[in-house]
C-alpha cells in the first residue's frame, strides 16, 4: 500500500462552507473512493485554507485519480468543489493535487 500526501488551497472566505460539505459527503462519493482504492483518506487544514490530504492506495496518485475519473459521481463532486479552491480557471481540484514526497515514516 502506498501512502500519498498532497496539498491544495481552499479560499479563506469559503473554509466553513467547504468543511460543511465534508461533514456531509455523499454516500455514493464515499463508495466510489473506496472502490477506486482510496483508503485511510484524511484531510487536514490550516486556518488560512492550506489543505493537506493523505490516503493510502495500492497504486500511484495518478492511478487513484484516474480510477475516480471513471465514476459519474466524481464529476459532480469535482464541479461542486471547484469554486472552493484557488485554481486556474476551468481546472478541477482533482487535477491540481500537488503530491508531496514522503521523507519519513514511523510504523
**Which residues are marked as active site?**
22
> How do strand 2-9 and strand 39-45 relate by DSSP bridges?
unpaired
Distance CA 11, CA 54 (A): 20
Distance CA 67, CA 90 (A): 21
Match 479552491 to its residue by C-alpha cell.
Answer: 85
CA nearest to 64, candidates 86, 42, 32, 26: 32
Match 475519473 to its residue by C-alpha cell.
Answer: 69
Amino acid at each position: 500500500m502506498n501512502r500519498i500526501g498532497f496539498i491544495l488551497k481552499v479560499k479563506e472566505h469559503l473554509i466553513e462552507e467547504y468543511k460543511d460539505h465534508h461533514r456531509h459527503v455523499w454516500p455514493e462519493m464515499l463508495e466510489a473512493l473506496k472502490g477506486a482504492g482510496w483508503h485511510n483518506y484524511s484531510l487536514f487544514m490550516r486556518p488560512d485554507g492550506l489543505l493537506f490530504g493523505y490516503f493510502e492506495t495500492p497504486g500511484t496518485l495518478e492511478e487513484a485519480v484516474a480510477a475516480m475519473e471513471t465514476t459519474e459521481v466524481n464529476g459532480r463532486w469535482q464541479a461542486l468543489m471547484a469554486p472552493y479552491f484557488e485554481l486556474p480557471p476551468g481546472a478541477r481540484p482533482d487535477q491540481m493535487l500537488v503530491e508531496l514526497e514522503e521523507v519519513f515514516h514511523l510504523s
